[in-house]
Every structure is written in structure tokens, then in C-alpha cells.
Structure 1
Amino acid sequence: MNKRKAIVSLCALALSSLGFAQQNPVFPGWYADPEGIVYNNEYWIFPTYSAPYEQQIFFDAFSSKDLVNWKKHERVLDNNAVKWADKAMWAPSVIEKDGKYYFFFGANDVHEGEIGGIGVAVADRPEGPYKDLLGKPLINDIVHGAQPIDQFVFKDKDGQYYMFYGGWKHCNVVKLSDDFKTLLPFEDGTIYKEVTPENYVEGPFMFIRDNKYYFMWSEGGWTGPDYKVAYAIADSPFGPFKRINTILERDPKIATGAGHHSVIKVPNEDKYYMVYHRRPLGKTSAHERETCIDEMTFDENGHINPIKMTFEGVKHVLK
């Protein structure tokens, strides 16, 4: 048995040197809801620390030059910097603007009449430390039935920033002010627009490819095995979003509970990766979730092919 282990280790080492080692999960520890982004030609992942709500009072971040080797940055934001956040700090959405790095997050698993919801923090570097921008939530209220969680900040082609968000099977979009401190009205005077597609539960994400808006979301329950990701394509960031297909779901040979994702586009290439969380086989705790990356491809019609979950993850070092 020791000889066999030695052979396996040597093979793994050889494959690793070629960029073919097992890469999923991409870093150790229980982490969920990963937001992937490219800052200054470096890849970053900002996830939720997956634990009971009362323990979710900080965020770690991870950076990589090649999507394979990751460096951990501990507690880039915690509730010491956000005085109104007591628990359940979830699902970062991050973006750079004018040399500043902004970190949107949910906190407190807020219900009607409680303090919590979506906050904003800011830093001078991707690794922080981040400081609370407002001293209060940007969105505290429950509008159109959407719990203010799972925010995603999206920059449109004209430079306008929007934020999609919402749990409890409802999704809203709001228009952000230039300094991210307030919400602006749409042309019709409304502040919140509901854009909920069929089967939506939570975890919205959007990107543009070939001048089309790809809107993605998670379905099912995050605590169970049937969590999944679906998507729509529209000509506008406001939809209408007609559900096309499921593109990420459990694989009985790999993992269950696969969902709440983001997408990383390789700079200057038509190459995309889905960053998501999943639950290892044999694990049943709601909090046993790990962050993984697998390639996302398209067919000739621009539709997203179903994601094949792997243990290998990114198979080659990206230049």
C-alpha cells in the first residue's frame, strides 16, 4: 500500500508540473457563493465563509496569477468594520471603480422590521482592509418579496452600474449612483424593478457576450443536494428573461448541491470559467460547501453548454 501511495504521489507531482493536477476544490476550507473577478491581470475569488450564521462575521479572499495556485487573504472585511452586521455575512459582489475597490455584501439574514440587508464597503486595494462606506445598509427593506441578499453589481455597456439582488424567489434590479451610496430612479420614476425569471430562487449573475445579456441564477434549496444553476439570454439588462436551461447541477460521481456561481472571463480571450460551490459526496451538512472552478463553453448558437463538474478544474496554467 505504501508503494502504491508513493506511485500515486509521484504521478500527481508529474501532472501538477504540467498543470494537470486535481484542482477542485481550488482552495481548502468550507467556502460558498464565490464571486470571481479579474483585478490588474490577477484572478480573485471572494466567497462566503460557510458556517452557522453566528460564525459568519468575516470574509476571506483568494488571489491567483494562473487560476491554479491561490493565495489566501484573511479577514479582508469583518463585522468590526460594519457595526450593524451581527451575523450571516454573505455572498460578496466586488468591483473596481476609479481606483477604489468596492465590496457589496449581505448581512443579518434580514426579515421585515429588522436591521440588515445589503451593505457596501470600500478599500484602496483588492485585499483590503475594507471599511463600511455608509454606516448602514444600502438596502434594508424587503421590496417585491425579495430578501435583500445575493447582490451582484453589473456595469453596463454605457458605463451605468446596476445591482441585481434577491432571495426568497424574487429578483430585483436597482440603478446605482456614481458613488455607490444611493439608489437612483429609473426613467419611469421607480427605484426597484422586479425581473424574476421562471424558477428563480437566489444568486443572480450577469455578463455580456456578443452583445447579448446572459442572466443566470440558482434554483432549489442551498442546504440540499438539488441546488442548480439556470440561465436566460436577453437584449436588455432588464429582460425579459426567458429560462433556457439548467447548466450546472449535481453529479452522482462528483458532488451535490452545485450552485451560487459567478463567471470569470479570461482577459482578451473568448474563454470563460464558472466559479461555484458544491457539496462533496457523503457530506450532508448545509455548511459543508467548497469552492470549485470548471470551464464554461458555448454552442454555435451562443447557448451555454451544460457544465461538467470535475476534480481537475482548470487543467492548464493560463498565460
Structure 2
Amino acid sequence: MILKTTKTCLLIAIVFLIGFKVSAQNPDQSVIQLWTKKDLKFDSPKTGNPLLPGYYADPTILEDNSTFYIYATTDMPNWNDITKLAVWTSKDFVNWKCDYLNWPTKEQCKSNTGTASGVWAPSVIKAPNGKFYMYVTIGQEIWVGIADHPTGPWKNLKKDNTPLVRHKEYYYVETIDAECFVDDDGQAYLYWGSSDSGRDIEGRCLAAKLNPDMVSFAEMPKDVTPPHYFEAPYMFKKNGQYYFSYSWGKTWDETYQIRYSTGPTPFGPWKEGMVRPILSTDDNDNKIKSTGHHTILKFKDKYYIVYHRFNTLDKYNISQKLRQVAVDVLNFNPDGSLQRVVTTHKGVGALQPVKMKLNLAFEAKTTSSSDLDSMVTKSKFAVDENNGTLWIGKKYAQEWLQLDLGIVKSFNEIQIFPEFPIKAYQYKIQVSDDDKNWKLAEDQWKNTKIGAPLVSQSKFKTRYIRIILRNEKQNPRPGIWEVKIY
């Protein structure tokens, strides 16, 4: 009897130890998933990442009344040319529309202490009073806007039209990347800061309580810098714990990454998470690199991280420092710690029901007047429903992209997503039944509107569609992310 009892106890002990060993060695499976993930290739049709058709960075996301809003820096080859702020809207998280806000602009937000830098890195929140507030970097100073609706009209909240925080006003900390956080009790906090790489390579983060007016401080800003911080702070709260995530590394190379720390208050003290970093360049996929500045969306009890990464055309000088927005799932361990983010080209798909519409342009036969590169900017990339690939023509006075639907078809709308929505594209649309006799369907040769998509609506019945872009000095280069036909 004693022998049986001893064997039983020994067996229980072995099972316990095995179970403990497995549990201790495998706190989560996110790292294994990163190495074994099943993903689409970067140039596959119908990818979900990049999320937006264009060069955008430093995203912030807001969901209000079942509509998603992404505000982001519009990347340009020259930082000083970023003069306006974009907002992308979507009902389903798949189909997006880009507009440019009435405020802020570089022209409207000038001060005698600012720099020549452009409009960067917005943070937009909905306050308990129902108003929307924006904290945005312009001329490396922090400005504050207010609106009754996410798309505006917006205006400067300061009546004297000055910035909230001037260039390096507090402790010589770089005045960029402002992020607003509203706690459960309604108290708002503002975080910002980076480094001056010419003098101090370590970033610093400042924070302060905001007064109820949302445009003045209730106290002097204080240093709340967490471990391994460079820039791009983001704060959220879950189960009573404060999560402080941020970027580390060099903005323009593969060291750029996202790390996080946790603390008992909005000011810390901070303890860095065990997974370091939680998101970074993918060692197995050279198309996912320089991942950084981010925002986090909680929607229907799930978390998503929206971040930027290099575009896939970085072999070209004009595109080397242009970024695109991506989104992946953010998961937690049972103890509340963050798991490693599994970066993908597949993305997360629709978050709300999608209106089923057949895109007649998808994988249609295409031809073009020329391709900038016969391998990576060819015409077929304009009809693949992939926001990471596009057609770019060469530098002739006029360039055209042509679609063949196979047979004559009836449709009501043509959507064109241009390479740089911040610029006004001049274009014409011609249609033909036989590829010989062409009719003018749309004349936008003097177009001054910006945004995306460019929409042509009519009762079309045709087989061939040709989009002609002007390509003169004052016009952007001829590039199209996608053409969609409904």
C-alpha cells in the first residue's frame, strides 16, 4: 500500500514538474508564430498591408460612430514640403478615402520660434465633453486644434494663434510627437519628446497634466522617460495598469522598433516589458523594416497596433525615406504583458461588414505608355488591390495606363488612387470598345482638387479605359496605386 502511494505521489510530482517546465519555457507563443507565420508575399494580390494607398507615417487612429479615422503625416521626399494634414476614413477598415483638413497647415501655424519643418505626427482624441482635440507638430512645435467632428472644420484652440509648446521650450527637449491620453477619471495628460541627434542621441519624454481647457498645463512638465526611449510616446490603460509604448532606434534604418513599459500611474515609475522589442524589422522578410511610430486601437474587445514601415520601393532615391501605414493584431499574455507583434503583409482584414461590390478592374489586363521599372512599377500593379505596389510611368509629357475588361461592360464609377494624394493630379479618362476609336469620358486637365480616390461617375458601357496623366514640371510624377471600377 505504501509502495503504491509512493508511486502515485512520484507520478504526480513528475507531471507537475513537466507541466511547470513547459509553462516556464513558453510564456507565450508569439515569437514562435513570428518565425512560422503563414503570410502573403509583399506583391501578392489583395494584401491588407500596407493599409493605406499612399506614403503616410506617424498614424493616430480614432473610431467614432462606427467610422474609423486615421490621421497621419503625409510623407514627401522633402520634410519641409509637408504642408497639410491628411485624414483617411473608412466604415469597414478595408476601403479608405483620403481628405485634407482645413487646419492645420504650415501657413496657418507659424511662429517666431518655430523651424521650417512641416506638419507631422498628429494625436486626435475625443474628450468627455464630446469635442475633438488635436495635438500636432508643426515647425517642431506643438499646436492644439478643436473641432465638433473628426473631419472638422478645425481651428486653433489658442485664441492668440500661438503654439502650446514652443521649439525646445522645456529643458531643451525636442518638441515633437505630442500624444494626448485621457484617464478614466477624465483627466487629460500630454506626452511629447525626442532627441536632438546632433547633441544628445538619447530621447527624453516629458509629460504634464492638462487643465480642463485642454490647451494649458496644470503643472510644470516633468521628465517621465522610460527605459530605451527615443520618440513617439503612446499611452493606454488596461485593467488598472498603464502601458507606455514608444519608439527606439534610428528613424531611418532597420533598428527602428517599438518597445513598452508599464507603471502604476500615468507618470510611472516604469518597468520595461520582458518582450523587447514588441515590434521591429522582420529578420525573415526584408520588405518589413524600420517599423515604428504607432497608435493602438481597441475595437470590440480586441487590440490592434497601427504603425508605419518603409515602402517597398526604397531602391529609388525619391522613395527611400517614404513610409506606409500597416496594422497587425496586438495580443496579451494572461499576466497582462504584451506579446511580440507578428508583422504581416496579410493585415487584419475588415473590422466591420463590407458592402459587397465587384471591382471590375481587379486583375484586368493592363498596358501603359511606359514603366519606370519593368519589374517593380509595372502597370499590372495598379489593379491588384495591394497598397504596397503601384504603377509609375517615366518622365514624358504625358503618360497613360490602360485597362482591358475583356468584353464591353456596364459600370457607374471609376476610382483612381494617385501616388501622392497631397498633390493635385491633372488627368483625362478615355474609353473605347475596340482599342481604336476613343471617346473622352472625363476631362480633369485643370484639376486642383487633392485627396483620394479621384472619382469619375457616369453611366459607362465600354471595354477599354485609358487614364492619361499630365507630367510637366508643376505636376507630380505619373503614379497610381490602384484603379477600381464599380
Structure 1 length normalisation: TM-score? 0.85
**Does 2:204 align with 1:177?**
no
Between the aligned partners of 2:352 and 2:95, the Cα distance in structure 1 is 11
Q: 1-side partners of 2:312 and 2:296: how far apart?
A: 24
Q: How does 1:129-140 map to 2 (within 5 A)?
A: 129-134=153-158, 135-140=161-166
One-letter identity of the residue aligned with 2:261? A
Number of the residue aligned with 1:209: 238
Q: 1:25, 1:238 → 2: CA distance?
A: 33
Task: Provide the C-alpha distance between the structure 2 equivalents of 1:74 and 1:138, rounded to a whole number of angstroms.
Answer: 23
Q: Deviations over 1:165-200 (max 9, x none)?
A: 101100011111111221112xxxxx1110111110
- Kept after mapping to 1: 8 A contact 2:72/2:121: yes
Q: 1:317 to 1:184 in 2, by over 3 A?
A: closer
Determine the structure 1 residue equivalent to 2:311. 280
Counterpart contact for 2:93–2:349, Cα < 8 Å: no
**Counterparts of 1:41 and 1:317, CA distance in 2:** 10
Aligned to 1:31: 56
Percent identity, please: 33
What are the within-5 Å matches in structure 2 for residues 1-319 of structure 1?
Answer: 21-51=46-76, 52-77=78-103, 78-84=105-111, 87-97=117-127, 98-109=129-140, 117-134=141-158, 135-140=161-166, 141-168=168-195, 169-185=203-219, 191-244=220-273, 245-252=276-283, 253=285, 254-266=287-299, 269-281=300-312, 283=314, 287-318=321-352
Does the Cα contact within 8 Å between 1:68 and 1:314 map onto a contact in 2? no
Deviation track 1:3-34 (CA, whole Å, cap 9, x = no partner) reads: xxxxxxxx95xxxxxxxx41111111110000
Check whether the contact 1:25–1:290 (CA below 8 A) recurs between aligned residues. Answer: yes
Q: Matched residues in 1 for 2:349 and 2:298: separation? A: 16
How far, CA to CA, are the matches of 2:347 and 2:334 in structure 1? 24
Amino acid at match of 1:66: D
Report the counterpart of residue 3 of structure 1 in structure 2. Answer: none
What SS does the corresponding residue of 2:290 show, helix, strand or coil?
strand
**Contact 1:224–1:286, Cα closer than 8 Å, also in 2:** no
SS of equivalent residue, structure 1 residue 54: helix
User: What TM-score do you get using the length of structure 2 for normalisation?
Assistant: 0.56
Question: Is the Cα contact below 8 Å between 1:144 and 1:170 reproduced in 2?
Answer: no
Higher CA-based Rg: 2
- The one-letter amino acid paired with 2:70 is I
CA distance in 2, matches of 1:282, 1:127: 31
Query: In the alignment, is the contact (CA less than 8 A) between 2:314 and 2:321 conserved in 1?
Result: no
> For structure 2, which runs of at least 5 residues remain unmatched after alignment?
1-43, 196-202, 354-486
Partner Cα distance (1:286, 1:183) in 2: 39
1:282 is displaced (CA, Å) by 5.4
Counterpart Cα distance in 2 of 1:292 and 1:76: 26
CA distance in 2 between counterparts of 1:223 and 1:26 reads 20
Paired residues in the alignment total: 287
Could you list the structure 1 runs, at least 4 aligned residues long, displaced by more than 6 angstroms after superposition: none
Structure 1 position 286, deviation (Å): 5.3
Aligned to 2:198: none
User: Cα 1:209–1:81, aligned 2, differ >3 Å: closer, same or farther?
Assistant: same
Distance 1:122 1:27 in 2: 25
Is there any run of 5+ residues in structure 1 with no aligned partner, and where? 1-10, 13-20, 110-116, 186-190
Task: Judge conservation of contact 2:181–2:235 (CA < 8 Å) in 1.
Answer: yes
| CA-CA distance at 1:281 after TM superposition | 4.3
- Contact 2:101/2:154 (CA < 8 Å) preserved in 1? no
Question: Contact 1:30–1:50 (CA<8 Å) still a contact in 2?
Answer: yes
* Larger RCO, structure (CA 8 Å, separation 6 or more): 1
2:36 is matched with which residue? none
